[in-house]
Amino acid sequence: AQSVTQPDIHITVSEGASLELRCNYSYGATPYLFWYVQSPGQGLQLLLKYFSGDTLVQGIKGFEAEFKRSQSSFNLRKPSVHWSDAAEYFCAVGALYNAGNMLTFGGGTRLMVKP
């Protein structure tokens, strides 16, 4: 069974500092990986996705993530955090076009940004 672990429940960074959110997955085949962001009281918004090809993927709002198969990781990064980035971030693994396999989400990392 697939699983996703986000080791950090809470992270606080200063505005303008760099950010890295960790995600580790367990999956029996080539994974499809996603990062979603959820602002307070809102649904989930897709930040970026990895299907295949270049292991460094660019997303919206200046975020990027790197797929490292050897480490089973898909960490999210941003070089300079803005106060508006404060939200909860979810990593997910899934298989596309396979009716028997759906998205499995990690527990989320809540990001707080200090002025």
Partner 1 sequence: ETGVTQTPRHLVMGMTNKKSLKCEQHLGHNAMYWYKQSAKKPLELMFVYNFKEQTENNSVPSRFSPECPNSSHLFLHLHTLQPEDSALYLCASSQDTGGLQYFGPGTRLTVL
Residues engaged in binding partner 1 (CB under 8 A): 4, 36, 41-46, 49, 90, 94-99, 101-108
Q: Assess contact for 59 and 47: CB atoms under 8 A.
A: yes
Query: What is the closest distance, in whole angstroms, from the C-beta atom of residue 79 to partner 1 in the complex?
Result: 25
Query: What is the closest distance, in whole angstroms, from the C-beta atom of residue 16 to partner 1 in the complex?
Result: 27
Structure tokens at 16: 């303008």
Number of neighbours of residue 45 by Cβ within 10 angstroms: 13
Identify which of residues 18 and 39 has a Cβ nearer to partner 1 in the complex: 39
Identify which of residues 41 and 115 has a Cβ nearer to partner 1 in the complex: 41
Query: What is the closest distance, in whole angstroms, from the C-beta atom of residue 49 to partner 1 in the complex?
Result: 7
* Alpha-carbon distance values, 2 to 14, 32, 89, 115 (Å): 34, 11, 19, 38
